[in-house]
Each structure stands twice: as C-alpha cells, then as structure tokens.
Amino acid sequence: MSTPTRITHLVAGSPWEGTAERTSEVYDPATGEVTGALDLASADLVGEVVEGAHAAWLEWRDTSLTRRAQVLFRFRELLNEDKERIAALITAEHGKVLSDALGEVVRGLEVAEYACGIPNLLRGGFSENASTAVDVYSMRQPLGVAAIISPFNFPAMVPLWFVPIAIACGNAVVLKPSEKDPSAANAVAELWQRAGLPDGVMNVVHGDKEAVDALLTHDKVRSVSFVGSTPIARYVYETGTAAGKRVQALGGAKNHMLVLPDADLDLAADAAINAGFGSAGERCMAISALVVVEPVADELVSKIVDRMGKLRTGDGRRGCDMGPLVTAAHRDKVASYVDAGAQAGAKVVVDGRDGDFDADGDGFFVAPTLIDEVRPGMSVYDDEIFGPVLSVVRVASYDEGLELINANPYGNGTAIFTNDGGAARRFQHEVEVGMVGINVPIPVPVSYYSFGGWKNSLFGDTHAHGMEGVHFFTRGKVVTQRWLDPSHGGINLGFPQTD
C-alpha cells in the first residue's frame, strides 16, 4: 500500500503551507485503499481565507467585463484541455466510471461557456424620458465573497455550476468541496490562476462542519451556494439566512419515473437502467422509484431484469458499466435497504449485494438491485437511498401515479414515459417537481436554463446557473437621473410622479 498523498487548501492561488490540526482519509472506492490525507480547515483559517478573498474582490469587482470574459474564455480552454485528467481524479476518489466522470466535467464546462457571455448577461436596461427629462436605468453589481459548499457526488460539476458565474459577475469565491473526493476541485481551481485570474479571487478550503459553520457566520461572506443532503441544506439555509446572507441550498431527492401503458417499453427499460444505475445511483437526479401504470408492469420489469443481467460492476477504470459506492459506510447503508424492503413485504427481484465485481482489493460495491411491489411507508420508498437500488411501485392509473409523486416531500426531478402528447402535457403542468423529463429520464437542464428542485429539494428560491445564477451572484441597482437646468427649480414635497 502506498503512502497517502497530502491534499491541502488552495489559498490565493497556491497550496496552503501550514500544518493542519486535523486531517481526514480519502479512499479509492474501487480498491478500498486510503489514497489521500486531506487537511481540514480550522475556523481561524477559514476566516483568514475569507479576508484574503475580500481584499482580492475589491479589485476584481472593478475589472472590466472584457477582461473578465477573457479570463473566462481562457479558463474554458484550459478546462477542456484538462478534462480527461480531471475525470481520472474523479474516478479515483468517487468511483464513478471514467466516461461518466468525463460527462460531469463536460456539463460543468458548459456553465463556463455560458459565463463567457458575461458582458451580454450583465447588460442593464435604460429608459430615456421615463419622466420629462428624467432617465431611468438599471445595473447589476457583484456581492463580494461567495461561499460555495459542494457534495461528493459531482466533485467537479457542482462547483462549476456556481464558480464561473460568481467570478464572471465580479465576486470572489471560497469553495468548500466534499471531504470525500477533494482532488478534482483543487485541479479545476488551479486552472483559474493559469487563466489569468488574480490571486485570491478563487480559493478552496477543505473541511467539515467546522469550516462550513465558519463560512456561514463570517460577516464578509455575502452569499452561500450549497448542494448536499436535505437535513444539511435546511441547516445551511437557516443558519446562513439568520446571519444575513443570501442562500441557495439544494437538497436531496427521490425521483420518480412514471411509465404509462402506451409507452415504448424498450425505451422505458433502457431509461430506467441508465437513470437508476448510472453513477451507482449516486446522482441527485437518479431515478429511484419506477412508477408503472398497470397492466404493463410485469413486461417492463422483465425487460429491466434482462438488461440488468448484462451490466458489469467494477473498477471505473476498467470499462465497467457501474462503479462502487463512495465509502464502506455508504455501501453498508445502501445494502441494508434491501433487507428492510424484503421485511416490509416488497419483493427483491435482483439482489446486488452478492455480485461478481471486476476489481482488485476490497472495494465498496453493490451491484444493480431491483425491488418490486414497493409502497409508500416502506423505508426503501420513503428514504433517499442514493445507491443502485431501483424500486418498482405499481399503480392503477395516471392519476394515482401523479398523486404519489406530488405527495412526496422531495421535488427535484421526475420523468414521464408515454407516446400520448396530451398526457405528457398534463403531467408537465400538474407535477410538483422542479425539473421534468418527457421521455428523458435525467432531465438536467442545460447551462442557460437553471437547475433546481422544489419542496425539500431546494431551500431558498434561486436555482443554479442560467439567468437565475447571474441574479443570485449580483444585486440590482436602479438609477434615476436628471441633468438639471433652471426650469427644474421649485419646491414640491409630494411623492415623485412621472409626467
């Protein structure tokens, strides 16, 4: 076993040179080996980094839009050149297969491309002669230091949902990535400096609750963008807003895929496999509840089981379809739901706990698992499992399926599979979920739309990236101007009116 590599903070463009009081272990989930020793930031260190970011912001906010766009374009080029290396870092610490890791880098890259258009995105409005000889115009200005706290499951893409837009809008950033797979965030952050971003505008602090709490309460942090599980999202929202910050906190999910009897069942079976087992189910947009309207459930289940038999689970560097779970503890938790489902009366059709895994060592694997006859009230349905466990819920009608989805406390993503345009149109209107797919199982919005769920999947009201991202990272200002001439004299204590 080789010595774990030290992984540390990136402060003002350089690796931190101090000595950490606390560290945590980073694993290769495919082999079970400890590969990294991560420095965990103290509250004092977080405070120093925020102060440094604030100082850098004072200059960056006045940097011209042209110059900012040039940095963004260069960053985009560097990220594109480096995407395979970053994907390999993701696979080594998260476990997802290489093609999937590359996919997340590319989706993050698209947000950088969107942010390259910042001069256009920040254009204000101008109304000449709103009142006689009075012009009114609007502008958007940066906030200051933006804190971004990200989860383990998209170590490159989720930070990239926020960082390029925050920087393009003229803010400085302190990113706190997941402590489970920190290296990709560092690798992407280093590119900013190579792209010409001034030191201190982009910083990475690694850590746990202590670092997060320090960010949530520091007076120079002006906004918090959080992505993670629902209990922590709620905590971050409540703590951050109580401290007077603008907060967007994206939480967990339980995504349903509704299959109507007229759907193309082969297409639906492929989609259920891809969305249920891709990235070992560790996606906030993974489908975990397959809601099938009778009488097609038996046929659909049988098509899914056929396809599951062809999937290869193992080391993500070996061309497998699916990799391991992120930690041994998470693997054990996911595995425990299989027994819980069986005990509650569901039918375990494919049990992935005893799979044959293509990997060396002692990786954290559970193979694709299918549980039928699942109902609300069973933990396998009620909880976000965040693993490769697909539950089939049989319903009698579209209405029953819709009611089930709308009763769920989460509202991140959902999908309907049907060939009936009218039913699909009704679904998109009636379903209480933020992101909807029609014959698309993982409806992750493109960068120029915004990503975000409803209900317990989002605290705050602003989604990530797109124009909502630009609004989140800026404050609006409206100027009313009149260039005085002698005719404007006179006293009038009335409320200003347009005429």
CB-based contacts of 300, cutoff 8 Å, min separation 6: 259, 265, 268, 269, 272, 290, 292
When binding is defined by CB under 6 A, the residue of 115, 384, 443, 459 that contacts ligand NAD is 384
Q: Which strands, in side-by-side order, build the sheet including 33-40? A: 5-7, 33-40, 22-28
Q: For residue 464, what is the DSSP state?
A: B
Nearest distance from C-beta of residue 473 to ligand NAD, angstroms: 17
> Is 453 a residue that touches ligand NAD (CB under 6 A)?
yes
Helices (H), ranges, 284-355: 297-308, 328-343
> Is 410 a residue that touches ligand NAD (CB under 6 A)?
no
Nearest distance from C-beta of residue 15 to ligand NAD, angstroms: 20
In 10 A of CB 242, how many CB atoms?
Answer: 11
152 versus 472: smaller Cβ distance to ligand NAD: 152
Nearest distance from C-beta of residue 463 to ligand NAD, angstroms: 9
Cα–Cα dist 353/418, whole Å:
33
When binding is defined by CB under 6 A, the residue of 229, 241, 336, 462 that contacts ligand NAD is 229
Q: Select the span of 54-62, 151-159, 356-364, 474-482 touching ligand NAD (CB under 6 A).
A: 151-159
Q: Does residue 72 contact residue 118 with C-beta atoms inside 8 Å?
A: yes
Residue among 352, 182, 336, 378 at smallest CA distance from 280? 352
> Is 208 a residue that touches ligand NAD (CB under 6 A)?
yes
Told to judge if 284 belongs to the known catalytic residues of this protein, a careful annotator would answer yes
CB-based contacts of 91, cutoff 8 Å, min separation 6: 30, 97, 98, 101, 316, 317, 323
Q: Phi and psi (nearest 5°) for 413?
A: -130, 160
Nearest distance from C-beta of residue 485 to ligand NAD, angstroms: 55
In 10 A of CB 400, how many CB atoms?
Answer: 15
78 versus 284: smaller Cβ distance to ligand NAD: 284
151 versus 368: smaller Cβ distance to ligand NAD: 151
Quote the radius of gyration of the chain (alpha carbons, Å).
Answer: 25
In 10 A of CB 162, how many CB atoms?
Answer: 28
Which residue type does 226 have?
F
63 versus 229: smaller Cβ distance to ligand NAD: 229
Residue among 5, 18, 414 at smallest CA distance from 186? 5
Q: Residues 116, 169, 284, 320: which is the catalytic one?
A: 284
Nearest distance from C-beta of residue 89 to ligand NAD, angstroms: 17
> Is 457 a residue that touches ligand NAD (CB under 6 A)?
yes
Q: Which residue has the tokens 């991202």?
A: 469
Q: Select the span of 7-15, 129-137, 224-232, 481-489 touching ligand NAD (CB under 6 A).
A: 224-232
Site for ligand NAD in 164-183 (CB under 6 A): 176, 178-179
Return the axis-axis angle of helices 230-242 and 209-217, rounded to nearest 10°.
30
> Is 205 a residue that touches ligand NAD (CB under 6 A)?
no
91 versus 418: smaller Cβ distance to ligand NAD: 91
150 versus 223: smaller Cβ distance to ligand NAD: 150
Interface residue list for ligand NAD (CB under 6 A): 149-154, 158, 176, 178-179, 208-209, 212, 227-229, 232, 250-253, 284, 384, 386, 412, 453, 457
Give the catalytic positions in this structure.
Answer: 284
